[in-house]
Amino acid sequence: RDGSKEESSMLRELVRRLRSAGLLPRSRVGVALSGGPDSTAAALLARDLSFLLGYPPPLCVVVEHGIRDGSKEEADKVAEHAIRLGLDAQVHSIAHLLRGSGKAVQERARAERYDALTTAASKEGCDQVWTGHHRDDAVETTLFRLLRHSSWQGLASIDYARTLYAPDGRQLQLIRPLLPHTKAEAVSVCDQAGASFVSDPSNLSRKYARNRLRFFLHSHPRFADAVNDLRVASGRLRSDVDLMINTAFAHHSHWCGHADVLDLHLSGDRELDLLLLQRGLQAVMGQRQIVPLSRVARFHSQLVEKGGATVGGCQACISNRTVRIRREVRFFFWFFFFLWM
């Protein structure tokens, strides 16, 4: 399949990156498609990679939020355009799920959007879902978190790849193929391929903090490059620490005959113990979510002070530096806790 010069260059780099990381898709790819230049460029890359690998056209999932008038018609047009580009497309409405969300509508919409994406991809047999996040998004996120005094984990910003779970429990790989590239490169891919895209007018409003950061970074490219360097360095640090914690976790933990009961032996070093607890909670919850370190710190303090604590649907008790973590079972947990003590 012939693609634009920009797209062909990005496709070659993408194949090298995915192959070296062992992340080449093994079946059909799902793509989150909003109709903007970022997701459209990701869909074009997915289309051409699928053609090279002999897979069916990617499934583009267009999520309709119903937050503003005409959003259903816009979503239908985006899906129709995707089909003209040689892609498969489905429209999924989450409007009924967002009613009554109030000020938390954006956070709720994000969660429901990922649920709709992974549900559709799982049903169609996809093993990966792609989004259009690019380098500019990652830099904005790092600066936003820096201003909020985030830890080094947060400064690493957006991952290139991570595991997602569909509501049916099926494991999918989330890939962000445009992360090494800028928004301008994504726009160039669309322009050279003759693929039209839509622009969200709310992105031009200065009433949103995120937009103000975007405008600032755009007008100060050297500062943006410095923030990106910080992001990359934080990402490398996070990878190194993850490797260290994985090794320490393997030596300090064991399952108690059940998939949801874990004994974790703390080291006595608070910083290391917080990371071990974070990994232990993630393991007990089935790798579905990561509890932020700030919440883990409060959880650790409650454990030390009271001997027991709960967080993220997990309960724990501690005895002689050994923390027993299990999924929340309310009354039975405390019965079990007093017996164990």
Banded model confidence at residue 331, pLDDT cuts 50, 70, 90: very low
- The full DSSP string for 147-169 is HTT--HHHHT-S-SEEEEE-TTS
Banded model confidence at residue 105, pLDDT cuts 50, 70, 90: low
3-state class (DSSP) for residue 208: coil
Cα 191 from chain centre: 28
pLDDT of 98 higher than 60: yes
The per-residue pLDDT for range 114-148, each reduced to its tens digit, is 889 999 999 999 999 999 999 999 999 999 999 99
The per-residue pLDDT for range 222-275, each reduced to its tens digit, is 999 999 999 999 999 988 988 999 899 999 999 887 667 899 999 999 999 999
The per-residue pLDDT for range 8-19, each reduced to its tens digit, is 889 999 999 999
The identity of residue 164, as a single letter, is L
Banded model confidence at residue 72, pLDDT cuts 50, 70, 90: confident
Of 323, 300, 324, 322, the C-alpha closest to 311 is 300
Mark 178-206 as b/e (b = at least 16 C-beta within 10 Å): bbebbbebbbbbbeebebebeeeeeeeee
pLDDT of 150 higher than 50: yes
Of 106, 132, 130, the C-alpha closest to 40 is 132
Measured CA to CA, the distance from residue 77 to residue 91 in angstroms comes to: 10
Q: Which residue has the tokens 């049903």?
A: 123
Measured CA to CA, the distance from residue 239 to residue 232 in angstroms comes to: 11
Q: How many residues are given for the chain? A: 341
Burial of 271 by CB count in 10 Å (0-12 exposed, 13-18 middle, 19+ buried)? exposed
The identity of residue 258, as a single letter, is H
Please report, to the nearest 10 degrees, the dihedral formed by the alpha carbons of residues 206, 212, 217, 218 taken in order. Answer: -10
Measured CA to CA, the distance from residue 159 to residue 23 in angstroms comes to: 14
Mean pLDDT, the chain, rounded, equals 87
Residue 164: per-residue pLDDT = 85
CA atoms within 13 A on the CB side of 100: 2
188-215 mean pLDDT: 86
pLDDT of 103 higher than 60: no
